Structure 1
Amino acid sequence: MLDGVLKKRIDPTMDRLAAVLCRRGVGANAVTVAGLVLGLAAAATIAFGLLWAGLALLLLSRLADGLDGAVARQTRPTDLGGYLDIVFDYVFYGAIPLAFAILDPAANGLAAAVLLMSFYANGASFLAFAIMAEKRKLATEQRGRKSLFFTTGLAEASETIVTFVLFCLFPQYFAVIAYVFAAMTTWTFVSRIRLSLKSFG
């Protein structure tokens, strides 16, 4: 939901940072891998209870996630880059709730499981829609040029990052925040199913 608004504001800064990386010979795939490594480090740090360090690594990870696309646009976007980007995003999205479940299984375990289930369903609906859209030669640039058909929703990358930041800032409310975001993610899943009925029915 917020991605479209924030993209216009942050793209100029991302493009300038990407230009610096390009001049130093850093490729988009290297930035993507760095984002995953930072994201997994954030999850491990959170699991050990070092929430402020985890938050810093989490934000650096998402900076890398934004930069890889900007670097690709200034060099040469590839199918491999698009594939790695989406796969590594979902690994990161799963790792953070899992980290909080490990941190406090009794308080966070069920809420983390519910959130991960909503991520699983939403991710399946997103990727399956992209496959069917490609089969029908559909295209969209609602979120800029992407490697696959990008359907929007109530719960997108920006909302996910905000949620993960809230987890780190207010860990005592993890369960409440997780249930709220799981509901938002489920709403996005249901909306995408409705869109598929209109688009492919």
Structure 2
Amino acid sequence: MLDTYGRKYINPLIDFLARKLIQKNIKPDHITIAALITGLSCFFFILAGQNLIAFFLLWLSGLLDTLDGAAARQIGKPTAWGTFLDITFDRLVEAGIILALAVKNPSSLLVLLVLTITILLSMTIFLTVGALARQKGIKSFYYQAGLMERTEGFILFSLMLLFPSHLTLITCIFAALIGITILQRAAEARKILP
């Protein structure tokens, strides 16, 4: 929801930063790879008990994840391959964080598994509708808005990192909010798909 309705407020900053990266001859795919490496490094910091560092790296990864698409659009070369990398790498970062939290907190394993399943279902609907819908958006596919988008996910992952003693509760809330998003996206799919 924040991505859909709040992006217009931060677009000037994102576009400015993307221009600076382009001027330094940094390619959008390189930014995408940097986002992946930064995001995956959270795994190791969580395992080391350095959740605050993981928190900052998560948000840096998110910033880079936003800059890659902005840079591609500015140079007029958004590609299907870039979209594929972006979506795939996002899931790898999420999986890394969930896996590290599960290793560090085995008592929360079940709720982390439920969270993983809800993310999987939500992304399946999101990507299927994106591929089947006739109308396309700025991201080269139909973008289904929902209660839980990337920024909301980062906020909940942040709460999980910053308040590990409440991991089970936060994870349950996270999974429930994604469950609502699944229902939203499924209802929209029924309306727009033939």
The TM tier, using the shorter chain, reads over 0.9
* Percentage identity across paired residues of the two chains: 35
Amino acid corresponding to residue 191 of structure 2 in structure 1: K
Contact 1:130 1:149 in 2 (8 A): yes
Indicate if the aligned counterparts of 2:4 and 2:145 stay in contact, CA closer than 8 A: no
> Structure 2 length as normaliser, TM-score?
0.95
Q: Does 1:88 align with 2:85?
A: no
Is the 2:52–2:161 contact (alpha carbons within 8 Å) kept by the matching residues of 1? yes
Write the letter of the residue equivalent to 1:176: L
Counterpart amino acid of residue 56 in structure 1: F
Structure 1 match to 2:147? 154
- Residue of structure 2 equivalent to 1:56: 56
Q: Please give the alpha-carbon distance, in whole angstroms, between the structure 2 residues aligned to 1:102 and 1:180.
A: 20
| Equivalent residue number for residue 185 of structure 1 | 178
TM-score, normalised via structure 1 length: 0.92
Task: Give the superposition deviation at 1:40.
Answer: 0.6
Question: What whole-Å deviation, never above 9, does each CA across 1:63-95 have from its counterpart, x for those lacking one?
Answer: 110111111111111111111111111111222
CA contact (8 A) 1:18 1:71 kept: yes
Alpha-carbon distance in 1 for matches of 2:158, 2:185: 26
CA contact under 8 A between 1:153 and 1:188: conserved in structure 2? yes
Counterparts of 1:114-129 in structure 2 under 5 Å?
A: 114-129=114-129
Is 1:171 aligned to 2:164, yes or no?
yes
For 1:151, give the aligned amino acid: Q
1:98-141 per-position Cα deviation (integer Å, ceiling 9, x unaligned): 211111112x21111110010011111111111211xxx323x4
Alignment of structure 1 residues 66-85 onto 2, 5 Å: 66-75=66-75, 76-85=77-86
2:42 and 2:55 in contact (8 A); partners too: yes
Given the alignment, which residue of 123, 127, 135 partners 1:138?
135
- How far apart, in 1, do the equivalents of 2:140 and 2:193 lie? 21
Whether contact under 8 Å (1:42, 1:58) holds in the other structure is: yes
Alignment gaps of 5+ in structure 1: none
2:8 is aligned with 1:8? yes
> What displacement does 1:5 show?
3.0
What secondary structure, in the 3-state scheme, does the structure 2 residue paired with 1:118 have? Answer: helix
Q: RMSD across aligned C-alpha pairs, in angstroms?
A: 1.2
Q: Is the 8 A contact 1:48 1:103 kept in 2?
A: no
- State the shift of 1:2 in Å: 1.3
Q: What is the aligned partner in structure 1 of residue 110 from structure 2?
A: 110
In structure 2, distance between residues paired with 1:183 and 1:152: 17
In the aligned structure 1, how far is the partner of 2:151 from the partner of 2:161?
Answer: 16
Segments of 5+ residues of structure 2 without an aligned counterpart are none
Q: Which runs of 4+ in 1 moved over 6 A?
A: none
- Displacement of 1:45: 1.1
